[in-house]
Structure 1
Amino acid sequence: MFALLEESHLVAQEKKKKILVMDDEDMVGEIACQMIEYLGYKALRVTDGADAVREYKKHRDDGDGFQAVIMDLTIPGGMGGKEAVGKILKIDSEATVFVSSGYSTDPVLLNFQKYGFSGGIAKPFDLAAMQNLLSSVV
């Protein structure tokens, strides 16, 4: 019985963890959020890097920060992940920020640490890759 209570408590704690998703493509962003929520986390989606930086700071200042951020590398006409990661790391040098890209051979995705990211995930997302990514640090 105690094992069930402990497991239930861990699941409840896990659901409180929040992931910020930044992607300008509606379908991609919604699928990412659905996967994240299926895995037991809360997800908030924004469509560009400026919004991601603003939401990250707001939630951190409110004491209810994100455990990780997943950022699309390229946002046409907006701030992409490459620029936004630097701004988030200035707010919180311990931030966990992942890069995502539809270009699996993109140098930023392949050398994510060089650009300040904690990891990377290629699009299209799959559930196993998302779970591995989030469980590696969250």
Structure 2
Amino acid sequence: MSEAGKKVLVMDDEEIVADIAQQMLKYLGYDAIVAGNGEDAVKLYREAYELEDPFDLVIMDLNIPQGMGGMEAVKHVLKIDSEAKVMVSSGYSSDPIMHEYGNYGFCSCIAKPFDLKGLQEAVQAAIH
């Protein structure tokens, strides 16, 4: 299945994590954009949505110490677009939100650190 033209927004405050995720997604054929916090991610999502070119998926880090994290940002994205697909990511796989992601507005979850195969499977499942 070709992923050409599919857009993914990655929100993570750790620049190395965001860069690696972006490179992996590009390798897999996605158009990947990064944001360092929830405020920026919501702004980017709103701009794309208003241009009628929304993201096919948003991957949000759950915890952002110096800004809006995924738990709050997903609410804003879903207010913009109730059909938005938002995946939560965290290095804390024991966090209850990772196990009950649907109760918080997320469509799925992925634990960090990402590996290429796991990211590919998670993104394909969330988009399709």
Q: TM-score normalised by the shorter chain: which range applies? A: over 0.9
Partner of 2:71: 82
> If you compute each CA radius of gyration, which structure gives the higher value, 1 or 2?
1
Between the aligned partners of 1:34 and 1:62, the Cα distance in structure 2 is 25
1:1-138 alignment, distance < 5 Å: 11=2, 14-138=3-127
Stretches of structure 1 that go unaligned for 5 or more consecutive residues are 1-9
Secondary structure in 2 matching 1:57: helix
Secondary structure in 2 matching 1:134: helix
Structure with greater proportional helix content? 1
Secondary structure in 2 matching 1:136: helix
Shift of 1:100: 0.4
Structure 1's consecutive aligned runs of 4 or more residues displaced over 6 angstroms after TM superposition are none
Conserved? CA contact 2:87–2:126, under 8 Å: no
Conserved? CA contact 2:97–2:104, under 8 Å: yes
Stretches of structure 2 that go unaligned for 5 or more consecutive residues are none
Deviation per residue, 1:9-65 (Å, 9 max, x gap): x64xx2211100000001100011011111110100000001111100100111111
> How many residues are treated as equivalent by the alignment?
127
Question: Match of 2:29, as an amino acid?
Answer: G
Question: Match of 2:16, as an amino acid?
Answer: M
Between the aligned partners of 1:71 and 1:40, the Cα distance in structure 2 is 20
Between the aligned partners of 1:137 and 1:129, the Cα distance in structure 2 is 12
Deviation per residue, 1:98-137 (Å, 9 max, x gap): 0000001111111100111000000000111111111113
Question: Match of 2:19, as an amino acid?
Answer: E
